A and B are shown apart, each in its own frame.
Chain A
């Protein structure tokens, strides 16, 4: 483990990157399939399959000889100019026999697949959706099916039906349909409780419609993959039958029969086995390979990406300043001229768009946090708060690049390589994320996860690590640390899990804690407890805290300074008391007005109309102008610089001077 803290690569990321809003949704799976199909190995496998199918279809015209024509004069020849793959013991041309021998097999193998789909898909959908007794009965039937040896049954059928291939393939399909049934049932059960399925049920949509419309699409991906694997199994099974001389006309060539002929001559003429062996192995391998490559594209089997890519893209100099000027805004000077614990200056975070251009999502953000103080990053989703926080930790999601300056205790972090950054992370700056349950590994007990991190940062004997682990749990207000230490994340409540996450973050004794919406997912009373905990930790450990939130109540509770962000920029930076009592930027005022806490019942909330623009739609002039009550033509002429409007107070608005005099007009409850 190179990092001590997990990173939330969540929806905010998607919402902030411009690529996430295509007009038509290209499903993640569809995209992955397309990528898979572009891989050379998959292309070769597919190419081989196409070749086999086409040559089998065109066997007649392509064959140089009649596959049944005997030429006893040229028996058991190796490859010659006349017989490219040689001849068998009756002098028949092997190439022609191989070309003719695949078609029936390839076609017959489709039947079991179709049969098991026809049985397994409807049954699996229905039983998975209904559950209960039907599920128990169906499960029993399928267990019986699984217990039946397919080969024995098909051999019996071949005896009874006088070697009737269609019947044999259908029976085989029935016997193997259990696998398809199980797959469909499991996927259905997983999607049965989706909210949009619930919504359809509430609307009285019929069961059949729900299954076809809302559930089947979720099952399709795994089904297609399973189809490939099932087909390859059926193909191999039928080849075995034809090897045994069953199911196929002994007069006509078939691949199994060719193998059988070659086996008889294996000691004297081993060449006979080579062509058919290669064809068979290549075909089955190609089928399985394509199936498995598709399987790897399914969301459930996708491997987790590396937390932090080993090589991070570097922003080109031309893009390193985002859309703004080259000079970052001046920072308020710290007391005594010392540099604050964490200084962020002119931070730019960009993602490379599909056209190759760098699109900033954080555009020249500057702030500083002193020891023992809290800075809150406030704003709506899509304003770049989370990206700013992650960039200070060097934890940007894949494809993101940061420029500007992040100084931690005087050390520049931007441009540090991953190895050096990993040393900084955890021991000097740590992260508490929004979803504590996602941040904890469900497979390990709290004690073992916490112990790992303690060992990483401090080392020491097992007893030392254990003591420190329990101390950390007590530090975050967990009285029965022994018992909680033994539990697994799913046994913890949300509040308890967040306390454990804070303990994890504190394990390396960092100076700076970055908390990304640490209480948003929690109940109010738990939120209050976590805020109290953070405050007491700050007092006892002197932590500098960067807290991302959209709740101005949380800001009032714990914040010292607040940076209000809008569309990637800081629009107002002020001491919290000043900001809440007399916001200078219209957006800050809008955020404050939207709080229902003290609103009069029955009166519409005063709020900001419209939505935050996407990064690609950011105007060059004031980005808030489109939603601003105070906007004039002057707001739409050029970029608005952030201005110092008071001690420690900055605002990015050309009418700041007027807002100071209380010109805040009533923002209406208007909607977009």
Chain B
């Protein structure tokens, strides 16, 4: 399945098909933990694909699998026409020039004992084989691109604030002019002003260089503001995917609706409405919810529209308007008592099922 709304019909920059990633848990004969459970996605050049979900949704694992930092159990990852599914990070010299990363924690992602200059020189040396003097000119260029002063070259990361460090991390990712940057919660640790500055910076860089972003975050409004298309992930599965604007304005899947209503807005009256909404779109708090079923829909324990079928059968990916939703309510053939009630569900007018 390909996400609708793909801008480039020819060959996409990135194609991930039926990706599964299992983590082996410590201990003898433990069942592995399925972090990513059959995810498909494509990403065109210069596009931004948002991946949104909560902790444990597998959103970061997708990024790490793409970067070769997590082993792929099954499925395939294709970058610019090359299969890189099982290429580990260590053997990626040829991929590194296309694919870079910005991590969440700006304090952990820079080596505290190396100057900013040395940190930025690293990808240049590794990929382009540049030596110190030629690299220096490029590094100064990079610093001005991310709007940091020239003299940052000789300073250590501890001289910079979280937002400035994140710019350094962005500069490191931009150093080799990659085609795709994985932003793994790149703005989640920043406060709101810095977050806005970094978002603006990323947008400018994209406009100037045509780089594509896989933008991973847990805040749906931020993701949909910044991305062209959005993938909503829950427990390793894609719940809903489609154009960012529609998902932001009218989230379809009950989980997307819960996610949308959970993020408070800075307006007292609007927030009062949203607060009522967020209590209506989930049946149980995470503390009260039963464990998710092995089969079936992972959101069933908290979903106000859950029915028998949700606990037993995995929902099919069903096209709805301009997106794809994995929910039995949207699938007329699912046997869900409310099947076909999709328009009401999206409008927030579908009555909850009996618990």
Contact = CB atoms under 8 A, between A and B. Distances in A.
Given A204-B95, A381-B162, A594-B195, A604 B156 contact: no
Nearest to B275: A557
A202 B259 contact: no
Contacts of B278: 525, 528
B132 interface: no
A596 interface: yes
B316 interface: no
Interface stretch (B1-9, B32-40, B260-268): B260-268
A529 B287 contact: yes
Given A201-B69, A479-B288, A601-B226, 8 more contacts: A21-B159, A477-B288, A526-B286, A529-B285, A556-B271, A595-B265, A596-B199, A605-B199
Interface in A573-598: 576-577, 580-581, 590-598
Contacts of A494: 55
Interface of A: 11, 15, 20-25, 27, 194-196, 198-207, 209, 213-214, 217, 380-382, 477-479, 493-496, 499, 523-529, 531-532, 550-557, 576-577, 580-581, 590-599, 601, 604-609, 611-612, 669, 671-672
Contacts of B113: 25, 27, 217
Most chain A CB within a 10 A radius of its CB, from B92, B112, B172, B268:
B268
SS of B interface (majority): helix
Contacts of A213: 111, 114
Nearest to A193: B69
Contact of A597 (B114, B122, B245, B263): B263
B333 interface: no
A597 B287 contact: no
Contacts of B101: 198-199, 202
Interface in B143-201: 147, 155-159, 161-164, 169, 172, 176, 191-197, 199-201
Nearest to B198: A671
Interface string B113-141: 11000010011011100000000000000
Contacts, number: 225
A11 B159 CA distance: 14
B93 interface: yes
5 contacts: A25-B112, A202-B99, A380-B191, A526-B54, A528-B278
B261 A528 contact: yes
Contacts of B245: 601
A525 B286 contact: yes
Contacts of B126: 200, 203-206, 209
Contacts of B108: 194-196
> Closest 4 CB pairs between A and B?
A553-B264, A204-B96, A552-B266, A594-B196
Interface string B38-55: 000000000000000011
Interface of B: 54-55, 67-69, 89-90, 92-96, 99-101, 103, 105, 107-114, 119, 122-123, 125-127, 147, 155-159, 161-164, 169, 172, 176, 191-197, 199-201, 203-204, 218-222, 224-226, 244-245, 258-259, 261-268, 270-271, 275, 278-279, 282, 285-288
Contacts of A554: 264
A576 B164 contact: no
A524 B89 contact: no
B222 A596 contact: yes
Contacts of B226: 596, 601
Contacts of B267: 556, 580-581
A596 B100 CA distance: 25
Nearest to B109: A195
B271 A553 contact: yes
A611 B94 CA distance: 38
Contacts of A590: 193
B163 A611 contact: yes
Contacts of B123: 203-205
Contact of A199 (B103, B112, B221, B265): B103
A493 B286 contact: yes
Given A523-B54, A671-B200, A201 B191 contact: no
A23 B105 CA distance: 22
Contacts of B262: 523-525, 527-528
A608 to B, nearest CB: 5
A479 B287 contact: yes
Nearest to A523: B54
Nearest to A609: B197
B263 A601 contact: no
Contacts of B93: 204
Nearest to A587: B193
A553 B261 CA distance: 12
Given A495-B286, A496-B286, A557 B271 contact: yes
A605 B194 CA distance: 11
